[in-house]
Amino acid sequence: MPAFQQPPLPYAMDALKGYISEEQMSYHYEKHHASYFTKLNKILEDDPLSEESLEDVVIASSGGTFNNAAQAWNHAFFWNCMTPSASQGPSGPLADLIDRDFRDFDSFKRQFSAAATTLFGAGWAWLAIDPTGKLSILPLGNADTPLKHNQTPLLTLDVWEHAYYVDYRNERPKFVDGFWDVTNWDFVAERLAGAVA
């Protein structure tokens, strides 16, 4: 059995239709995401790193190992950042921190959307929390992740073209805007609670 296995989607393949079509989701999850696991398992065959957690491999590795491990991890995280039963926005301690570090929720949304829209080339827009408890928005290229910057990821949006091209072609801003309709704030709040526990 391969050391690392692609986790199942947390919802049906067509659950986010209206934002992401079943065709787009199938292409992204079953082709792109799956390929990172396949390549990673091949790279780490008979390597002691294959005994570590995927997150630990991301933190410890570089080069091709990092690229495939991080993309495998980033995508698994990304699927959980969306839900077909999204709430209107954050609440509780998460909302308080967003207000403290970004002035208010609307300002945070504008800043995150701008980071996701203007990131050059391929990459990810992240909301992360650092060891001091401060939130920040990180637009990171290619497979980069807050895990490599001593920060805990709370939310991400994949802005590689393969994430949206079937449905949106070259209209990344439209894809970014729609993300707020499916954001899984419960997942983000759980991540925050784990980070500050």
Domain harbouring 26, CATH code: 1.10.287.990
**28 assigned binding-site residue:** yes
Helix (H) or strand (E) holding 136: strand 135-141
Longest CA–CA span in the chain (Å) reads 50
**32 assigned binding-site residue:** no
**33 assigned binding-site residue:** no
Are 137 and 189 contained in the same domain?
A: yes
Are 120 and 68 contained in the same domain?
A: no
Q: Of 51, 80, 109, which residue constitutes the final position of a domain?
A: 80
Reading the block at residue 77, the tokens are 């995280």
Sign of CA dihedral 135, 136, 137, 139: negative
Reading the block at residue 54, the tokens are 């995927």
Residue 172 lies in a domain: yes
Residue 184 lies in a domain: yes
Are 96 and 125 contained in the same domain?
A: yes
Are 64 and 103 contained in the same domain?
A: no
Reading the block at residue 99, the tokens are 């207000």
Kindly tell me if the per-residue pLDDT of 63 is higher than 90.
yes
The pLDDT, as a whole number, for residue 88 is 87
The pLDDT, as a whole number, for residue 118 is 98
Neighbours of 160 (CB within 10 A): 19
pLDDT over 90, % of the chain: 97
Residue 129 lies in a domain: yes
CA distance 89 to 71: 27
Quickly state the pLDDT bin for 97 (edges 50, 70, 90).
very high
Are 75 and 142 contained in the same domain?
A: no
Residue 8 lies in a domain: no
Task: Please give the distance of CA 174 from its chain centroid, rounded to a whole number.
Answer: 18
Q: What totals of helices (H) and strands (E) does the chain contain, helices first? A: 9, 3
Domain count, the chain: 2
The pLDDT, as a whole number, for residue 87 is 86
Instruction: Tell me 156's DSSP state.
Output: E
Are 130 and 185 contained in the same domain?
A: yes
Domain containing 49 equals: 22-80
**158 assigned binding-site residue:** yes
Quickly state the pLDDT bin for 197 (edges 50, 70, 90).
confident
Are 67 and 103 contained in the same domain?
A: no
